[in-house]
Amino acid sequence: MSQPWPDGTEPGNPGGLETGTVKADGLECAREWPAGAPGHGYYDPPAAVPPGQYPLEVTGVTPDHGSTAGGEQASVYGASFDSTIIVTFGGVQAGGVALVTPEELACTVPPGALGPADVTVQTAAGSATLTAGVS
């Protein structure tokens, strides 16, 4: 059953705009947000699922643009993040990376070149990249 999530409190949820499937036990899974929203296609496993059961992925960055000077605070969204994290924007390592939840990281965007840049998250389990995640 697809429905809007009512409270808008989930990490990265832009005001309760996403819809998704609700399991019979009431736990949420398989979210789908409107095109262009941060985390489009984001998967939020129920709390009862053991960490690492879902593949590492990067699904969105907010804000998704900034200056070439860097220094902006950003949130990176995805799945299966852990405490051993490195985040890069266009191959340049971000500063102040912090695990907010297994689906959200906070960081400081590094200086970079003009134009789109891939955003990569590396954990103990491997790495995942959002191609042209920021512009």
CATH of the domain at 90: 2.60.40.10
What's the domain count of the chain? Answer: 1
Q: Which has the closest alpha carbon to 13: 48, 38, 49?
A: 38
Structural domain includes residue 82 = yes
Query: How is residue 3 written in tokens?
Result: 């429905």
10-residue mean pLDDT series, the chain (135 residues) = 41 44 42 46 47 79 92 93 94 96 94 94 92 92
Structural domain includes residue 123 = yes
pLDDT at 112: 93
pLDDT at 72: 94
Structural domain includes residue 27 = no
34: number of CA atoms within 13 Å, CB side?
8
Domain residue limits at 105:
57-134
pLDDT at 58: 93
Structural domain includes residue 120 = yes
Structural domain includes residue 49 = no
Structural domain includes residue 22 = no
Structural domain includes residue 79 = yes
Query: How is residue 37 written in tokens?
Result: 């929203």
Structural domain includes residue 93 = yes
